[in-house]
Structure 1
Amino acid sequence: MVDLNTLPRRHYTTGPTPLEHLGDLSMKLGGPQIWIKRDDQLGLTQGGNKTRKLEFLIADALAQGADTLVTAGGVQSNHCRLTLSAARREGLDCHLVLEEDLGPDAKPVPAEAGGNPAEHTGNFLLFDLLGADSVEVHPHGSDLIARAENLAAELKGRGKNPYIIPVGGSNATGALGYVDCAQELLTQFAEVGLDVSSLVTPSGSAGMQAGLIAGLHREGSQIPVLGINVSRTQEVQEHKIVGLVDEVASFLELPPVPRDRSVGLGDYFGTGYGLPTPGMVEAVRLFAETEGILLDPVYTGKAAAGLIDLIRQGRFEANDTVVFIHSGGVPGLYARAGAFA
């Protein structure tokens, strides 16, 4: 078994992120007892789950002598914001390859339904403030990784040494951040005396969920990690989760992880990635009104909507303990303010 402490790693957060009991929300929903892991409070600009991934990815880039980062995502990508922030911290160049949220046949989203995500606000504003070395915006459905690879080749031709980080930082290296988080969670559960029934997490590029699954498996924990998909059907997303779990387990020289540990529910992403749903709006308002906690509309808002619906369906017992992973992304809330008007 590979020891994480032997691997190259940068550190962007001081200490564990908080684990908080959401007593008022739990009472409002009639149980279970809901706790929240505040990974929105991770280091780098405005925090979020990608910070844990970047600690390993940036270390790998530096070990390879990189002087430039190239990565890709949506126009309101939290991953791109945090990659750019890490680049500023490390003195690296950073180039962003972005995708419009809407497909070529889709109608523009009116302001009252969430506004134009490419407006100079939210994460897109932060790309400017953080001084991205270049920002390209391509039509929805473009092959971003192919363009990132071409851009990296162009930069190499100019004498740079680029390092490509995949969408969401979700490869085996990035997922190590959440293998480590699994250990952090188990330590916190023991300190508070929690018998946790389930972890509930957003599931997008799947690095966070796959890392948690592999990390808990590594520690011999049977706590299930229930993913709420933000962009794909259950069948497609679970195939993605399983593939990455297997990669991480192989890298860490772990025994095979049972297939049934990888669950991603596809009932809550609505009409598409980043597009508002009534459940998301209700969940964001409910967390804010009961606990003073802001969720983002793309990941945590939809995952919380799934959690709330599962509670109402009776998926959890009143005396269960459920831990919700707040993956951050709050800057994206301001780019879609119209959804809450």
Structure 2
Amino acid sequence: MNFTQFPRRKYLQGATPIEPMENLSKALGGHVDLYVKRDDLLPGSAGGNKTRKLEFCFADALDKKADTVVTCGAVQSNHCRLTASWAVKENMDCHLVLEERVKGSYKPEGSGNNFLFELLGVKSIRVVPAGSDMMAEMEKTSAELKNTGKQPYIIPGGASNAIGALGYASCAQETMVQLNEMMLKVDGIVVPSGSAGTHAGMAVGMFAMNTNIPVFGINVSRKKDVQEEIVYKLAGELRAKLGVKTEIPRDQITCFDEYVGPGYSLPTEDMIEAVKLFASTESILLDPVYSGKAAAGLIDLVRKGFFPKGSRVLFLHTGGSPALYAYLDTFRA
């Protein structure tokens, strides 16, 4: 795959590590060997997976002479935090539209990412109700900014369009280089599946390189059929952008929706256990919305024998630990 054909900023500082999770593997019975790809260690304020996507999105924005970025997310959005972070580095203004997916969850004085938006100097935050047309809301903010003489660029939620998803097709390539150097054969990769860019990028990348390594998505909000369709559609757009001639088979996109619980960002007992297990066995911090629920799925799949005995499974840690501090009551209850 040739990524030099696309504008790209250089935010990464080399490959993120792949580490064995020996203690966690033993805690789960020792039948499956678990590894983690530490994208929580990516650069940007407190790290996280969106930095890979934003390398391409900010480059496109700068190519289009933008001086301002507008993006959206939930009230504790890791994507919004990292967009604000890289806007600071690029000397661009950042404006956010936050969707209050859980009524009453937005608090101007809140902690976690909410506090970091303030610290990073976000120029404006507009909160809209759950179910709002987020693209229309961002376009409204963009139009207002144009009227003041600004040149805004809209980055979709999660930076999950074909431009942003390039970051995770590139990550798939990086991952295979590492696995080859480590002489480590893995039998599956588990990723969080939310706005779909990470999942689609990894799936397309692994498919385009003929790795025969399945990528499994753990849903954080939607039902299985709905999420798989969203991922598959984006995977098709990404494949076309990369010039991959063979269409990715529909069965290459697999999601599990059993770990969403009552809804997006709402805690589950399995998520709480997963966050505590990763911390107490591997000294790795997850977040309660994405990586926590994805890890809950990984743990359950291992326990119920989804992966055959002796399998090696790689978990993609997408970061987001600042959000933990907005959930203190959940973990201390």
Distance 2:106 2:278 in 1: 23
Work out whether 1:52 is the aligned partner of 2:52.
yes
* CA-CA distance at 1:6 after TM superposition: 2.5
Determine if contact 1:68/1:162 at 8 Å carries over to the other structure: yes
* CA-CA distance at 1:214 after TM superposition: 0.8
* Segment of structure 1 superposing worse, 323-332 or 138-147: 138-147
* CA-CA distance at 1:201 after TM superposition: 0.5
Distance 1:85 1:307 in 2: 30
Match of 1:250 in 2: 240
* CA-CA distance at 1:117 after TM superposition: 5.3
Match of 1:27 in 2: 26
Determine if contact 1:56/1:173 at 8 Å carries over to the other structure: yes
Residue identity matched to 2:147: G
Determine if contact 1:38/1:325 at 8 Å carries over to the other structure: yes
Q: Which has the higher contact order (CA 8 A, sep 6+)?
A: 1
Determine if contact 1:101/1:273 at 8 Å carries over to the other structure: yes
Distance 2:140 2:73 in 1: 16
Residue identity matched to 2:238: V
Distance 1:147 1:252 in 2: 30
Aligned length: 329
Residue identity matched to 1:274: S
Q: Structure 1, residues 321-340: CA drift from partner, whole Å, max 9, x if none?
A: 00000000111111111111
Distance 1:23 1:312 in 2: 16
Distance 1:46 1:76 in 2: 13
Q: Structure 1, residues 111-165: CA drift from partner, whole Å, max 9, x if none?
A: xxxxx55352000000000000111112222222211101101111211111000
Match of 2:88 in 1: 88
Distance of aligned partners of 1:256 and 1:155 in 2 relative to their CA distance in 1, 3 Å threshold: same
Match of 1:76 in 2: 76
1:269-288 to structure 2, matched below 5 A, reads: 269-288=260-279
Distance 2:12 2:45 in 1: 11
Q: Structure 1, residues 39-97: CA drift from partner, whole Å, max 9, x if none?
A: 00001111100000000000000000000100001110000000011100000011000
Determine what percentage of the aligned residue pairs are the same residue. Answer: 53
Match of 2:313 in 1: 322
Determine if contact 1:117/1:336 at 8 Å carries over to the other structure: no
Unaligned runs of 5+ residues in structure 2 are none
1:83-162 to structure 2, matched below 5 A, reads: 83-103=83-103, 116=105, 118=107, 119-162=109-152
Residue identity matched to 2:243: E
Distance 1:63 1:231 in 2: 34
**TM superposition score normalised by structure 1:** 0.95
Residue from 318, 325, 332 that aligns with 1:334: 325
Distance 1:188 1:329 in 2: 23
Determine if contact 1:101/1:117 at 8 Å carries over to the other structure: no
Distance 2:212 2:115 in 1: 42
* CA-CA distance at 1:37 after TM superposition: 0.3
Match of 2:40 in 1: 40
Determine if contact 1:117/1:335 at 8 Å carries over to the other structure: no
**TM superposition score normalised by structure 2:** 0.97
Match of 1:63 in 2: 63
Q: Alignment partner of 1:199: what SS?
A: strand
Match of 2:219 in 1: 229
Distance 1:58 1:309 in 2: 37
Work out whether 1:3 is the aligned partner of 2:2.
yes
Q: Alignment partner of 2:288: what SS?
A: coil
* CA-CA distance at 1:218 after TM superposition: 1.7
Q: Alignment partner of 1:121: what SS?
A: coil
Match of 1:111 in 2: none
Distance 1:191 1:280 in 2: 33
Q: Structure 1, residues 206-231: CA drift from partner, whole Å, max 9, x if none?
A: 10010011111221111000000000
Unaligned runs of 5+ residues in structure 1 are 109-115
Q: Alignment partner of 2:4: what SS?
A: helix
Distance of aligned partners of 1:117 and 1:288 in 2 relative to their CA distance in 1, 3 Å threshold: farther
Match of 1:113 in 2: none
Determine if contact 1:200/1:325 at 8 Å carries over to the other structure: yes
Work out whether 1:260 is the aligned partner of 2:251.
yes
